[in-house]
Amino acid sequence: MLRELLLSDSVTHTIVSSVLARYSQLHVDGDTFIALVAEIISDIREPITVQQQEMGREERRQLDLKVGWWICH
């Protein structure tokens, strides 16, 4: 889920560092973490074409709650 957040257009740059900090706690091996972050950056630079639907207000609220939970725990 954290990977999806980092790839999401709806996540602002202000919480990326918090999400990355949490992501690094899950992947304690430095080499693995660096490889995964490099893969995410690669996906951002060359995104896979996906048909995206507009996120509804309730869906956005649920995503915000999940992000808040992951950052706080």
Give, rounded to a whole angstrom, the gap between the first and last alpha carbons of the chain. 14
Average pLDDT score over residue span 55-70: 85
Interhelix angle 30-45/16-26, rounded to 10 degrees, is: 140
For 52, the 3-state DSSP assignment is: coil
Report pLDDT for 50: 60
Report pLDDT for 47: 60
Half-sphere exposure for 11 (CA within 13 Å, toward CB):
21
Tell me how many domains the chain contains: 1
Going by C-alpha positions, the residue among 53, 51, 39 that lies closest to residue 7 is: 39
pLDDT digits (tens, 9 = 90+) for 11-36: 777 888 888 888 888 888 888 888 98
- Domain of residue 68 covers 2-72
